Each structure stands twice: as C-alpha cells, then as structure tokens.
Amino acid sequence: MIASLETLLICFFKELLHHDITFCVLRNYQTLPAQTANDVDILVSPVKFKKAVQLLQVCAKHNGFRMHMQVEHACLLMMFHSRNNHHIQCHIDLYAHITWKGFLLADSQRILASRQPFKNFFVPAPEWEQAVNLLVRLVYQGRIKDKYKKNIIAEAKYRDRFLNILKSIIGDRESLRILKYIIRADWKSIEKRVSFIRAAIVVRGFRYSPLETMKHQVSQVGRFVRRLYAPAGFALAFLGPDGAGKSSLIKELNQKLRPSFQGKQLVIHWRPELIISQTPSINTAVSDPHGQASRGKILSVFFLAYHTLMFILGWWIKVAPIRFKGGIILLDRYYHDILVDRKRYRMSMGKPFVILGAALVPKPDQIIILDAHPDVLRSRKKEVIREETIRQCMAFKALAKVLPNATQVNADMPLSEVADEAFGIIMANLSKRCEGKIE
C-alpha cells in the first residue's frame, strides 16, 4: 500500500462517522482529502476526543504510516511518516477546544452543531470559520494572514450573524469596533487592538464561565508540567573524525527536519555561546585543528572546568527552552569530542578528568557518529596526518560502543545518501519515543 494523506484522511473520516464522533475540518480544506499545503486542523467532540486520537493512530498504522511526533499545544499535534519513505509526512492537529493560554476562544459545541457537509467530511459554518480565522491568528500571532482577509470581509457583511459570534467572545463594544475596521479593510487598526482583545477574552472567561476557565487553566498547568518532564523537542549531536562531513550533513538535515519541528531550530558548533565575542572562539570551525601547542596541565584543568560549566549553563539557557517548545537542536561535535581529540582543544591532562566532565554535562537525545575510510577523510581534510586520522577513526568507533544513544553512519557515501540514512535513523528514534504515547 502506498501511504498518502488522502488514504489516511479517508480512513479517519470514515472511522469518526462510524463511531458517531462529531467533527469538522476547521480551515484550508478546499483540496482535501487529496492534498494540502498546510497541516490539517480537525475539531472533534470534546466528549469523544480520546477515542478520536485512538482512531487516528489506528488509521495511520493501517495505511502505512508511523507516528514520530505527538505534542500537546492548544491542540494535539500529531505527525506521521510513511514506513517505506520517510520523506512522505502528514501533519494533523486535533482540537477538543479552541483556546488561547487556557482561555476559551470559541465554543466548540456551537461550531460542531452548525457544521456543514463538504465532500466526505464536514466544515464549519462560514460565520464560525471566519470568526475563528480572525481571532485565533490575531491573539496568537498579533496579525491576520492575508489569505483569510477576503473571506473575513465577505462574512462581516452578514452583520448580525458574524457580529453575534464576536460578541460572545470579546464583548459588544470591542466587537462593534472590530467589525467597523473589517468592513473598511483597516487591518492595521485591528492589529493595534490585540492587547484589548486578549484582555477582553481573559475578563469574559472569568466573569461568565469561571469554572470552565479554571478547568482549562488547570489543564494548561498539567500540560506545562508534562512538557518539563518530557520535552517535545529533540537534541541531536554529530561526532566523527575530521573530514567526516558533520557540518555538511547538518545543513542537509536542517532542511529535512524542518517540517517536523515547526521551524524551531538551533545549530550549535561544539557548545552554546553564552557571551557574544568579537574574537574567534573555540566554537568556530578551524582549518588546522592541531596546529597549536597544548596548554600546561594546570591551564588544561581550568580550561576543562570552565567549558564544562559553560556546557551545563548553555544547555539550560539556550538548548532546554528550544526542546521545551518542540524544536530541534543540531550539535556539531558537542562535549564528547574532547574524549577523542584532546589535542584539538590543546589539553595535556588525563582522560579521567574529561570522563568526569562528560558525566556532568547534559546528554543529547541522540548521537550520530560518522565513520569513513581514512583515505576518504584525508582527501577532505589534508592538513590532518594519516596516523591521526586512523587514530580518530578507531577512537570514535570505540566511543560508539559505549554511548547508549549513539549510532554509526557510513560517511564514505555521497552526502545525499548519508543524509537519507541519518534522516531514517532520526525518524526511527522519534517514532520509538512516541510508542509510549500511543493509546
């Protein structure tokens, strides 16, 4: 079976109907189920939300997909890839409620009650669709996407229908003001009202539905705690001898991984920089890695202690926030490189000190170690002598055996093939991490 978005969605929609689960596709549905340029946003009955999640997971499995991301936001973000081709991916967001920071933006029951049939699924009534497109984009991003403006204006002309929805969410006064700006197509004036709209949503939430608001706030706190315990993001380190192609591979993977991590990406050479310096640092890639004399033993101890501390602080200040938000961090070398190549860092101390530091430094979620024939490596990095290249190859192979989350990849192949193999390894690791989340 050839996995595709169309087969997955057709299966999912049929299962929702079979199990009597009310649903509708919120936006960007015109070309569905065949294709879409966006993720697929589906609102389902809050009462049967958990069952809908189970059905989507089952449909994905039966149609040749494997889940590699499941992240709790205001929605439940779920990403799947084809078992036969990791590059075929589907991104589906399931909503039980439409909220912002735990405050209700739109009544899901009213949206579902007024839904309309479209092809083999359902969509919101036009007034609800445009009200949601207006307010969700506005309160989350502070602006309205250009592609939605024409339809919002068209719906605003049906004054009573559209206005009543806005009044139920942001109150009479603010709704009348926003409606006036919409009819004039004065989007800048609307965007200037974002703080007032957000305040109105908060005030009305506590005033008119305090119990429901508190329930969503508690859910928000629970989601925050779960994210602290198990961050949605992914930190990936690349190790290997000089000339293995780590930096080139990272550039290739950066593009391949972008759809799965919503554009939240950070590339770091060796360790995170906490202080921006105008002079070259050890974090900068160099053409002659062994061209300088080693430091003395005492200076080496201070050097290692300082950089170990910077690794720890850099992780919690730079890396951890990106992991928490569901992003990906690509680490070129990372701390473990010192275990193999102390000469590169001009260190003349014993290995036990370095091992101690490795125990203190936070660990990446996965490590990919590139391996290649010494002749291939020297053709790419001629300034490294053959004996040193051979030593690095043997040392990294030994390191791969003792690091529990490390995988070796043959870097003799062309870059595109190396990237495809590494991408498959990463997707398999992400999928394995999701196995515990499958209902």
Q: Per-residue confidence at 3, pLDDT binned at 50, 70, 90?
A: confident
Q: Per-residue confidence at 280, pLDDT binned at 50, 70, 90?
A: very low
| Model confidence pLDDT, tens digit, residues 238-256 | 999 999 999 999 999 998 8
Work out the average pLDDT over 23-36.
93
Residue 281 has pLDDT above 70, yes or no: no
Residue 300 has pLDDT above 80, yes or no: yes
Instruction: Supply the pLDDT for residue 343.
Output: 83
Instruction: Supply the pLDDT for residue 258.
Output: 86
Q: For residue 275, what are the contacts with CB-CB under 8 A and spacing of at least 6?
A: none
| Model confidence pLDDT, tens digit, residues 78-112 | 999 998 888 888 999 999 999 999 999 999 999 99
Work out the average pLDDT over 182-195.
95
Residue 277 has pLDDT above 50, yes or no: no
Work out the average pLDDT over 281-289.
52
Residue 282 has pLDDT above 70, yes or no: no
Instruction: Supply the pLDDT for residue 428.
Output: 92
Work out the average pLDDT over 118-130.
95
Instruction: Supply the pLDDT for residue 146.
Output: 92
Instruction: Supply the pLDDT for residue 310.
Output: 94
Residue 191 has pLDDT above 80, yes or no: yes
Q: What is the pTM assigned to this prediction?
A: 0.87
**Domain 233-437 indexed as CATH 3.30.43.10:** no
Q: Per-residue confidence at 437, pLDDT binned at 50, 70, 90?
A: low
Work out the average pLDDT over 189-196.
95
Q: Per-residue confidence at 436, pLDDT binned at 50, 70, 90?
A: low
| Model confidence pLDDT, tens digit, residues 312-369 | 999 999 999 999 988 999 999 999 999 998 888 888 877 888 999 999 999 999 999 9
Q: Per-residue confidence at 421, pLDDT binned at 50, 70, 90?
A: very high
- The region of weakest confidence among 188-197, 378-387, 417-426 is 378-387
| Model confidence pLDDT, tens digit, residues 147-173 | 999 999 999 887 788 999 999 999 999
Instruction: Supply the pLDDT for residue 399.
Output: 94
Work out the average pLDDT over 213-227.
90
| Mean residue pLDDT across the chain | 90
Instruction: Supply the pLDDT for residue 25.
Output: 97
- The region of weakest confidence among 13-27, 129-143, 219-233 is 219-233
- The region of weakest confidence among 186-190, 262-266, 279-283, 415-419 is 279-283
According to CATH, where is 3.40.50.300 located in the chain? 233-437
